[in-house]
Chains A and B, each alone.
Chain A
C-alpha cells in the first residue's frame, strides 16, 4: 500500500504528470503576460504543449566531440532535479509528499542541479558559444545562489527548523513577507537569476552567445531542459509563496498567490534589460548578500532578545 502511494506520488500527483501540466500552464501564463505587456497577442493555451511535443519528437543532433553518454544524461538529470525538488514542497497548497529534517536545504540544492547540468552541458558540447554560456551560467550561479539560499533560510531561522513542513506550520497565517521584506525581495530576484530571466539572461544572450550553454542541444535534450526550467519556476514560486506569504492554504488561494508572484516576475521580465556578468556578480555580492546578511543579524538578535 505504501509503495503504491509512493508510486502515485512520484508519477502522478506532486511529481510527474501533474507537475508537468502545471509547469506548462505556468509557462503559458508567463508568455501570455509578457506578450500582453509588450502589446502583443501572445500564444494560445496549447502552444507550450505543442512546443514540448515538437521538441520531444525531433531528432537530436550530437556534436562529434561531445561525450555521448554525458550529452544524453545531463538533460535527464536536470529535469530529475526539478521533479525531485517538487516532492518536498507544498505544491498548490497540499502537504508535501515526502519530508524529513533538513529537506529545505536538499530542495535548494536540487534546484541548483539544473544550473549545474546546464553548465556541464555547455562544457561538454565543446563549442565556443556553449563554453562561454556555461562559464557565465556558473559564474552567475555562484553569485545568486548564496543570497537566494540565505533569503529562503530566513523563515527557517524564525521557525527554528529546516524542515519545510514545520516552517510552513509556523508561518501559517502569518505573512513573513511583512517582517522580512528584504528576504522576500532577494528571494524573488534570486528566482529570476535561477531561471535566467532578464536582467540575468547573460548566459543565453542571443546577441552574444547564440543560445548559451544549450546552443548544441536540439530535440529531446532541449525539450527536457526547458521542461526542467519551467518546473523550477513552479517549485520556486511555491517555495516563496509557502515560506513568505502565509504558509499553505486551500489550493485556489495558494494558486492565486503563486500567480500573483508570477505576474510580478513577468512584469519585471518585461521592463528590465540584460546586465553584464560583472554587474550581476557585483549586484549580488555588494547588495543582495549584504542586505540578507543584515536581515539575518537582526533576526538572530531578535531571537536572542525574545529568548
Chain B
C-alpha cells in the first residue's frame, strides 16, 4: 500500500545520515561550464574593446596604456557583472573566460569587487594615475 511505503521511506530517512552539505566545511565542485568570476589573460589581446562595448552592465573597462606594445589593463567590476558571458562569447582572441573554481564572490566592501588584470607594473601605473580602484574612471588612458 502506498501509505505504508511512504511511512517506511520516512522512517528509513530518519535513521539515514542527512544528505545536507555543510557548505563552508565541505564544498562541491562546480561544473566546468559554471559561470563564476571573469578571468582575463593578456594573451593575444589587441585592445579591440569589444568586450567593453558588449557588456550590458558596464562591468568591464579595458584601459589601454600602449596599443602598439599591447599593454592593457582590464578592470573588472564583479558587483556590476550579471555573469551573462557575452564578453567570453564575443572575444575572438580567447582572452576572456569564466572561472568554475572562483565562485565564492562575496565581499564586505564595494572596492573589493574591483579586480585589475594585467601585468603588475601596468596595474601599479594605472592605480597611481587614477587613484584608488573603484574610482569612476570610465574613459581610457588613450585619450592622453
| Chain A positions within 8 Å of B20 at CB level | 39-41
- Are B18's CB and A271's CB within 8 A? no
| Chain B positions within 8 Å of A40 at CB level | 18-20
- Are B13's CB and A37's CB within 8 A? yes
Restricting to B1-25, which residues have a CB under 8 Å from any CB of A?
3, 6-7, 9-11, 13-14, 16, 18-20
| Chain B positions within 8 Å of A33 at CB level | 14
Docked CA distance A271–B6 (Å): 6
| Chain B positions within 8 Å of A35 at CB level | 18
Docked CA distance A37–B9 (Å): 8
A5: CB under 8 A from chain B?
Answer: no
A-side interface residues, number (CB < 8 Å): 12
Restricting to A22-39, which residues have a CB under 8 Å from any CB of B?
33, 35-39
Considering the complex, give the chain A residue whose CB is closest to the CB of B3.
Answer: A271
Say what secondary structure dominates the interface of chain B: helix
Restricting to A242-267, which residues have a CB under 8 Å from any CB of B?
267
| Chain A positions within 8 Å of B18 at CB level | 35-36, 39-42
Considering the complex, give the chain B residue whose CB is closest to the CB of A263.
Answer: B14
Docked CA distance A35–B16 (Å): 12
- Are A36's CB and B3's CB within 8 A? no
- Are A39's CB and B6's CB within 8 A? no
> What's the nearest-Cβ distance from chain A to residue B41, in Å?
41
- Are A36's CB and B6's CB within 8 A? no
Docked CA distance A42–B13 (Å): 13
| Chain B positions within 8 Å of A271 at CB level | 3, 6-7, 9-10
- Are B16's CB and A39's CB within 8 A? yes
Docked CA distance A85–B33 (Å): 59
| Chain A positions within 8 Å of B14 at CB level | 33, 36-37
A267 with B11, Cβ < 8 A, contacts A36-B18, A39-B18, A39-B19 known: yes
Considering the complex, give the chain A residue whose CB is closest to the CB of B10.
Answer: A37
Docked CA distance A267–B13 (Å): 11
Considering the complex, give the chain B residue whose CB is closest to the CB of A34.
Answer: B10
A185: CB under 8 A from chain B?
Answer: no
Per-residue contact bits, chain A 41-52, to B (CB 8 Å; 1 contact, 0 not)? 110000000000
Restricting to A51-85, which residues have a CB under 8 Å from any CB of B?
none
Docked CA distance A211–B134 (Å): 42
A270: CB under 8 A from chain B?
Answer: yes
Docked CA distance A37–B10 (Å): 5
| Chain B positions within 8 Å of A39 at CB level | 13, 16, 18-20
Docked CA distance A33–B13 (Å): 10
Considering the complex, give the chain B residue whose CB is closest to the CB of A37.
Answer: B10
Docked CA distance A82–B16 (Å): 36
> What's the nearest-Cβ distance from chain A to residue B7, in Å?
6
| Chain A positions within 8 Å of B10 at CB level | 37-38, 267, 270-271
Docked CA distance A94–B18 (Å): 37
> What's the nearest-Cβ distance from chain A to residue B3, in Å?
7
Other A-B pairs, 17, CB within 8 Å; known A39-B13, A40-B18, A271-B3? A33-B14, A35-B18, A36-B14, A37-B10, A37-B13, A37-B14, A38-B13, A39-B16, A39-B18, A41-B20, A42-B18, A267-B7, A267-B10, A267-B11, A270-B10, A271-B9, A271-B10
Q: Which 4 A-B residue pairs are closest in the complex by CB-CB distance?
A: A37-B10, A271-B6, A41-B18, A39-B13
